[in-house]
Amino acid sequence: MENKYAPIEDYDYKMIEAYIDKPEVTDWYVDTFKRFNINGVDVMKWKWSWWAFFGSVFYLLYRKSYLAAGILFLFTFVISFIPIPGPGLLLWILTGGYAPYFVYKTYKEKRLEVEAQVHDEEKRFETMRYVGGYNDWAIWVAVIMHLFFWIAAFSMLGFILTAIGLAAGNAVQ
């Protein structure tokens, strides 16, 4: 059986490595990106990422996939108005499986742009590091947003329990 995944050349590996800019996860992204390119054709496929699952929009912001992050934010916002938990959970799971593909698509767009503009190979790697990489601020925004959410949730819970307690106390009198 022939290998349907596009082979990865040294240059391709270095471009992905430069774009990801985290040597400890480069191999994961190389293997993932190979899955999305079958015989030179881009194909959206499922590739699970716990970081994408738990990070959701923030994972995409961290990986500089701004358009995908914006669209996911809009979906999340709209789904938040549905009063049952199923659609939100489904979106969360789909994000864990498909968000790496959107990082790949951003990588491909940036790579084509860099290759069209920069002709020196070393400068290409340097430029990919600059246009790719990651946003540390996305982690801080995620932490702050989650803290805000949990503080608000516990505050509302305390308010509700206090209101129930007051109502029960007034009912007894």
DSSP line for 129-155: HHHSS--HHHHHHHHHHHHHHHHHHHH
| Residue type (1 letter), 94 | L
Residue 132: count of CB within 10 angstroms of its CB: 22
The pLDDT of residue 131 is: 94
Report CA-CA distances (Å) from 8 to 18, 33, 48, 129.
15, 10, 21, 19
The pLDDT of residue 6 is: 55
pTM exceeding the 0.75 threshold for the entire prediction: yes
User: Which helix (H) or strand (E) covers residue 38, if one does?
Assistant: strand 37-38
Return the closest-CA partner of residue 129 out of 17, 34, 33: 17
In tens digits, the chain (173 residues) has pLDDT values of: 344 555 568 899 999 999 999 989 999 999 999 999 888 889 999 999 999 999 999 999 999 999 999 999 999 999 988 888 789 889 999 999 999 999 999 999 999 999 999 999 999 999 999 999 899 899 899 889 889 988 988 888 888 888 887 766 665 55
